[in-house]
């Protein structure tokens, strides 16, 4: 005997309320839409399998990509459209610049500011100070690695030499005297 089941989804409404109950006062208790029940069941099933591993990261990555794609045009437009500059009182000066130009101008101004490190004799441009600090950090890391390698080489070589001296002394002490 074959069992045949035909299901018609034509009139299915995912917004249909299911599981709704009413208390003695006629107030609604519980219930949800068919769509939320289906999603809850899918999440429950997915969390039991290996598919769930890394699901949060994949969803966040898709979300971030979608956000970027949605706002990319707005960001491009904001960077390219001219802005009317104002004076200290908020009145337009007649000068217009793009946001892109303002960002570059501000960055150049900031990098060319002078700074004086504690104990320094002369002020130094900020960009020079940043480059100097990065070079110093790179040299310190490189020197630290070289010193560590040299210490290990000396310890190995000294250990070998010391072992040879001790071995020779023990052999000399163990050989019969004439």
| Average of per-residue pLDDT across 48-55 | 72
- Give this prediction's pTM: 0.38
Of the candidate ranges 31-35, 123-127, 171-175, the one whose mean pLDDT is the lowest: 171-175
d(Cα 43, Cα 76) in Å, to the nearest integer?
38
Local structure of residue 51 (DSSP, 8 states): G
pLDDT band at 174 (very low <50, low <70, confident <90, very high): low
Kind and range of the H or E element at 95?
strand 92-98
Contact 18, 32 (CB under 8 A): yes
| Average of per-residue pLDDT across 32-36 | 86
| Percentage helix, strand, coil for the chain under 3-state DSSP, each rounded to 5 | 60, 15, 25
Query: What is the tens place of the pLDDT at every residue in 75-127?
Result: 888 888 998 889 889 899 988 999 889 889 998 888 888 877 777 778 888 88
Q: Which two tokens stand for residue 118?
A: 């504690």
């Amino acid at each position: 005997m074959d069992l045949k089941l035909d299901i018609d989804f034509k009139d299915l409404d995912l917004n249909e309320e299911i599981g709704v109950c009413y208390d003695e006062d006629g107030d609604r208790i519980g219930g949800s839409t068919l769509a939320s029940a289906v999603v809850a069941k899918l999440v429950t099933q997915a969390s039991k399998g290996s598919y769930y591993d890394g699901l949060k990261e994949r969803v966040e990555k898709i979300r971030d990509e979608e956000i970027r794609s949605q706002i990319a045009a707005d960001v491009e437009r904001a960077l390219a459209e001219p802005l009317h500059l104002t004076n200290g009182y908020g009145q337009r000066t007649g000068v217009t610049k793009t946001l892109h130009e303002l960002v570059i101008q501000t960055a150049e101004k900031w990098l060319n500011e002078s700074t004086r490190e504690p104990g320094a004799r002369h002020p130094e441009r900020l960009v020079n100070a940043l480059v100097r600090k990065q070079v110093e950090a790179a040299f310190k890391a490189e020197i630290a690695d070289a010193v560590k390698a040299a210490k290990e080489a000396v310890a190995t070589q000294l250990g070998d030499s010391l072992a040879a001296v001790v071995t020779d002394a023990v052999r000399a002490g163990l050989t019969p005297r004439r």
